[in-house]
Amino acid sequence: MVVITIFYDNLKFSGHWVAKNMCALSGYLCFEVGAMAIMSMLSNRFCLSPQLNLLGGSSDGLDIITLKALVNNSLVILSTIHVQDFPDVEDDTAQNRKTIPILAPVISRILTSTLVIFWSIYMEFIWKGVLWSIARGGSSYSMEIVISSHYI
């Protein structure tokens, strides 16, 4: 986390959307990998393959389901982290930052709405969640639609 902070603040990675988003993703992953490693140890769910061992040392590691969650969460964060820049366009412009809402103000809002809906549907399919209840007559998309419509 210290290295990420140095890159973000001192080396001015905060000034360009790619570097800024990669720093944010790295920070989230540090916390998420740590939490999942602790949960994995506590639940005695260890990976079968030493190549998947993220903890080092013994054969204790993160299982394939945990790795799948990390990858999917990383993709969601990386593709939606720019939402934090919407309210701050004026200050970012004044500081000569290149953020997605500045570079593509209309497209970024449409893309955000689309991605929120896409990730909601994708995650439900991946984790075999609420979509199965929709097939039985339920609905889970009202919150995603409300959130998405905010950015249009």
Global pTM reads: 0.66
Whole-number pLDDT of residue 108: 92
Bigger pLDDT: 45 vs 3? 3
Write the pLDDT tens digit of every residue in 81-118. Answer: 888 888 989 998 998 888 888 999 999 999 999 999 99
Does residue 147 register a pLDDT over 60? no
CB half-sphere exposure, 109, CA atoms < 13 A: 10
Write the pLDDT tens digit of every residue in 114-146. Answer: 999 999 888 887 877 655 556 555 555 555 554
Write the pLDDT tens digit of every residue in 22-32. Answer: 998 999 999 98
Q: Where are the domains of the chain?
A: 1-87, 104-152
- C-alpha 121, offset from chain centre: 15
Bigger pLDDT: 141 vs 67? 67
Counting residues of the chain whose pLDDT is more than 70, the rounded percentage is 70
Question: How crowded is residue 34: how many other Cβ atoms within 10 Å of its Cβ?
Answer: 11
Q: Give the residue from 36, 121, 42, 131 showing the smallest Cα distance to 76.
A: 121
Mean pLDDT of 39-60: 52
